[in-house]
A and B are shown apart, each in its own frame.
Chain A
């Protein structure tokens, strides 16, 4: 039979009982909607984590003091820890100690809230930041304790909106610094609080570590953070272990965290897998229920249209034609259910994003999969009723009241 005719036949069968058809696909609609909504929440979380962790780099290890290295408390991390880490930990290619202070940066009449970051030239290697103009901090800046600064993209834009920042002078925490470079903007993780705190490099002003030390903080040896990069992402766990052991033995004794983006991502992926299994189980259950609904309605349809089957057989329909007609009907039903469910799920995801503030992302492959599954449910659960219809004996079907 021609496909178009088949489609028309199927559609007609459904329109025969509009309300019944609509009700029968509810199971599939809600099943698909739930899966689409849940998976877009999952996908949103995954992408956010990837964004944040990707910004840190899969080959980086960061040691971070839990309390800020304040004047009176013994610092967890000290400058010499960074030096010994660079010497001792295998496969480390860059090590940069970091101190931070929230300071206002000024240039002329313009002002920007900035994070002053005191660090070493290795920082740019450890974090793979890109330079948009000028240069990053150089070893000589450090040795000579030069007052030079490298601006994050948004600080540069705020202070020098009309011209190049390089060569200009800024006032940072009461001291004058000369701008020697501007970093490329990096899209940073927005929005909700997460386990991984990432520095917004666009808001940062990088200065040589000793230059920041001369500020209000009298304790020159404490640092907030030590950022390291290893030569191979697969060695990152071993490097983290070694670094942790070393600092625990020789460091200041205060608590610190070891942040390994790669490990966090792996943990996330494990959670994601569990989430996926749960989503999949819900999908399977709801599609099973939806499919049973479809089968039920198709069985009713075959029963009340037995005579029609007999008539069509007398007019020359083969068993295949009859089966195809009922299969077209059931798969049209579930396709409609799948489409509606996908729409509803997408709407639900948007709602979740707006109400709960969770990031969501619709993945096209997920939508396709949901639709294909819906069609498969129609074919799968429609086969038995279609088979029953096809094997009706024509003479008896014709006599059926």
Chain B
């Protein structure tokens, strides 16, 4: 079975004024469908850059990235956006909910950009909210939610297009340990259901529950 994610000697450099800052060098990594992976490393080791590339938010400057067998760097903006919409669900450290929208509308947002027919939106949104135990908060706005609720809303949003892969960036970083554990339970529960879950974290306890830990240092896999 081919890997869902295949990075081959991927490098990423940013221009910073006159000099180039290299964030990733020669990273090769395969992630199988259904696998759970934790990416760890100190700040500045290139974790976020790696996540951005894995999530098709950014293109590598060197090497190849095959997502489900397709070379990503040759895709245009619309194709990359469609990939993000349909294949990838994001969960961020600071939740990144849109504050003026209700929980329901936040969860619905990915559907605006996808191909799911509009009549299915409501049932999908509510199924996802139920799954994370947030159906009763659906008409609240993000500022009214606790951290744990906000992160669960974000997970519901990540699930609404039924993506193959969840990418979580420090999902428990802004939560106390109790709610952090709850959120971690939800995430690893999704992995048990068969989704590929990639978590970028500093948290050893969270990482310990992944099948595999990838450690980054200075832009390389250590």
A interface residues, Cβ below 8 angstroms from B: 1-2, 5, 9, 12, 16, 307-308, 310-321, 393-395, 398
Question: Is there contact, CB below 8 Å, between A398 and B96?
Answer: yes
| A310 / chain B contacts, CB cutoff of 8 Å | 96
A114-B112 Cα distance, complex, nearest whole Å: 76
Contacts A394-B57, A398-B96 known; A315 to B52 CB distance under 8 Å? no
Question: Is there contact, CB below 8 Å, between B101 and A315?
Answer: no
Question: Is there contact, CB below 8 Å, between A315 and B58?
Answer: no
A315-B157 Cα distance, complex, nearest whole Å: 9
Question: Is there contact, CB below 8 Å, between B86 and A316?
Answer: yes
A311-B154 Cα distance, complex, nearest whole Å: 11
Question: Is there contact, CB below 8 Å, between A315 and B77?
Answer: no
| B86 / chain A contacts, CB cutoff of 8 Å | 316
| A318 / chain B contacts, CB cutoff of 8 Å | 77-78, 81-82, 113
A293-B118 Cα distance, complex, nearest whole Å: 36
Question: Is there contact, CB below 8 Å, between B98 and A395?
Answer: no
Q: How far is the CB of B35 from chain A (nearest CB, A)?
A: 22
| B90 / chain A contacts, CB cutoff of 8 Å | 314-315
A2-B117 Cα distance, complex, nearest whole Å: 10
Q: Is B172 in contact with chain A by the CB < 8 A criterion?
A: no
Question: Is there contact, CB below 8 Å, between A314 and B82?
Answer: no
Q: Is B164 in contact with chain A by the CB < 8 A criterion?
A: no
| Contact string against A for B residues 134-153, beta-carbon threshold 8 Å, 1 for contact and 0 otherwise | 00000000000000000000
Q: Which residues 177-220 of B sit at the A interface, judged by CB distance below 8 A?
A: none
Question: Is there contact, CB below 8 Å, between B118 and A316?
Answer: no
Q: Please pick, from A321, A395, A398, the residue contacting B113 in the complex, using a CB distance under 8 A.
A: A321
Q: Please pick, from A307, A312, A393, the residue contacting B109 in the complex, using a CB distance under 8 A.
A: A312
Question: Is there contact, CB below 8 Å, between A313 and B52?
Answer: no
| B118 / chain A contacts, CB cutoff of 8 Å | 2
A5-B118 Cα distance, complex, nearest whole Å: 10
| B36 / chain A contacts, CB cutoff of 8 Å | none
| B77 / chain A contacts, CB cutoff of 8 Å | 318-319
> A-B pairs with the 6 shortest C-beta distances?
A316-B85, A316-B113, A318-B81, A315-B110, A394-B57, A395-B52
Q: How far is the CB of B198 from chain A (nearest CB, A)?
A: 14
Q: Is B47 in contact with chain A by the CB < 8 A criterion?
A: no
| A12 / chain B contacts, CB cutoff of 8 Å | 100-101
Question: Is there contact, CB below 8 Å, between B96 and A311?
Answer: yes
Q: Is B92 in contact with chain A by the CB < 8 A criterion?
A: yes
Question: Is there contact, CB below 8 Å, between B109 and A315?
Answer: yes
Contacts A2-B118, A312-B109, A395-B57 known; A317 to B81 CB distance under 8 Å? yes
Contacts A12-B101, A319-B77, A395-B57 known; A314 to B96 CB distance under 8 Å? yes
Q: Please pick, from B96, B101, B110, B161, the residue contacting A307 in the complex, using a CB distance under 8 A.
A: B96
Chain B residue nearest in CB terms to A307: B96
Chain A residue nearest in CB terms to B89: A315
Q: How far is the CB of A94 from chain B (nearest CB, A)?
A: 73
Question: Is there contact, CB below 8 Å, between B81 and A398?
Answer: no
Question: Is there contact, CB below 8 Å, between B113 and A1?
Answer: yes
Q: What are 29 A-B contacts defined by CB distance under 8 Å?
A: A1-B112, A12-B100, A12-B101, A16-B100, A311-B96, A311-B97, A312-B98, A313-B81, A314-B57, A315-B84, A315-B85, A315-B109, A315-B113, A315-B157, A316-B82, A316-B84, A316-B113, A316-B114, A318-B77, A318-B81, A318-B113, A320-B78, A321-B81, A321-B112, A321-B113, A394-B58, A395-B58, A398-B57, A398-B96
Chain A residue nearest in CB terms to B160: A315
A9-B98 Cα distance, complex, nearest whole Å: 12
Q: Is B60 in contact with chain A by the CB < 8 A criterion?
A: no
Among A12, A320, A395, the one with the most B-chain Cβ atoms within 10 Å of its Cβ is: A395
Q: Which residues 74-105 of B sit at the A interface, judged by CB distance below 8 A?
A: 77-78, 81-82, 84-86, 90, 92, 96-98, 100-101
A310-B169 Cα distance, complex, nearest whole Å: 15
| A314 / chain B contacts, CB cutoff of 8 Å | 55, 57, 84, 90, 96
Chain B residue nearest in CB terms to A399: B48
Chain A residue nearest in CB terms to B92: A398
A321-B78 Cα distance, complex, nearest whole Å: 10
Q: How far is the CB of B83 from chain A (nearest CB, A)?
A: 8
| A308 / chain B contacts, CB cutoff of 8 Å | 98
| B85 / chain A contacts, CB cutoff of 8 Å | 315-316
A16-B86 Cα distance, complex, nearest whole Å: 29
| A311 / chain B contacts, CB cutoff of 8 Å | 96-98, 109
A176-B118 Cα distance, complex, nearest whole Å: 87
Question: Is there contact, CB below 8 Å, between A316 and B161?
Answer: yes
Known contacts A311-B96, A316-B82; 16 further A-B pairs (Cβ under 8 A) = A1-B112, A2-B112, A2-B118, A12-B101, A16-B100, A307-B96, A312-B109, A314-B57, A314-B90, A315-B90, A316-B84, A316-B85, A317-B113, A318-B82, A394-B58, A395-B57
Chain A residue nearest in CB terms to B53: A395
A101-B130 Cα distance, complex, nearest whole Å: 95
Q: How far is the CB of B161 from chain A (nearest CB, A)?
A: 7
| A2 / chain B contacts, CB cutoff of 8 Å | 112, 118
Q: How far is the CB of B91 from chain A (nearest CB, A)?
A: 10
Chain A residue nearest in CB terms to B105: A12
Q: How far is the CB of B11 from chain A (nearest CB, A)?
A: 16
A310-B94 Cα distance, complex, nearest whole Å: 13
| B113 / chain A contacts, CB cutoff of 8 Å | 1, 312, 315-318, 321
A311-B90 Cα distance, complex, nearest whole Å: 9
A352-B55 Cα distance, complex, nearest whole Å: 63
A350-B168 Cα distance, complex, nearest whole Å: 63
Chain A residue nearest in CB terms to B167: A314
Chain A residue nearest in CB terms to B77: A319
Question: Is there contact, CB below 8 Å, between A316 and B81?
Answer: yes
